[in-house]
Amino acid sequence: MKAPNHVPASIVTRNMSDFTAETGNVYESIAIISKRANQISVKLKEELNGKLAEFATTVDNLEEVFENREQIEISKHYERLPKPTNLAVEEFLEGKVHFRTPSEFDENGNLRAIEGQ
């Protein structure tokens, strides 16, 4: 995953009314952001594990295990990335997160027709 330049690496104070613009409800927005942050976290973890798996050894002897410079650099790169929560907040505020509410579905899981369409 490429590190976005515009996402702050640390915590930033936010105006809570910014979160209500899309959903009309702060708590619904936070739930959406939380789910997106979990998706990002899983994706990053799979990506990192895939890259580190290339360096995996089947050696059981601790004396034969050595540090791999490339492995360390990959790990440091992922440590420097913005946290998944920060990425999810930025995506949500930029309107890049697509979501559906449960009220859009009927009891069988089918998408309901939205009034006015």
pLDDT in tens, 26-78: 999 999 999 999 999 999 999 998 988 887 766 655 544 555 778 888 888 88
pLDDT in tens, 65-98: 555 778 888 888 888 888 999 999 999 999 999 8
Question: Does residue 21 form part of some domain?
Answer: yes
pLDDT of residue 104: 65
pLDDT at 117 over 50: no
Ramachandran angles phi, psi of 106, nearest 5°: -85, -175
Question: Does residue 114 form part of some domain?
Answer: no
pTM of the model as a whole: 0.71
How many domains does the chain divide into? 1
- Nearest partner of 42 among 88, 11, 97, 94, judged by Cα: 88
Q: Domain of 72?
A: 16-56+66-104
Question: Does residue 39 form part of some domain?
Answer: yes
Question: Does residue 5 form part of some domain?
Answer: no
* pLDDT band for position 116 (cuts 50, 70, 90): very low
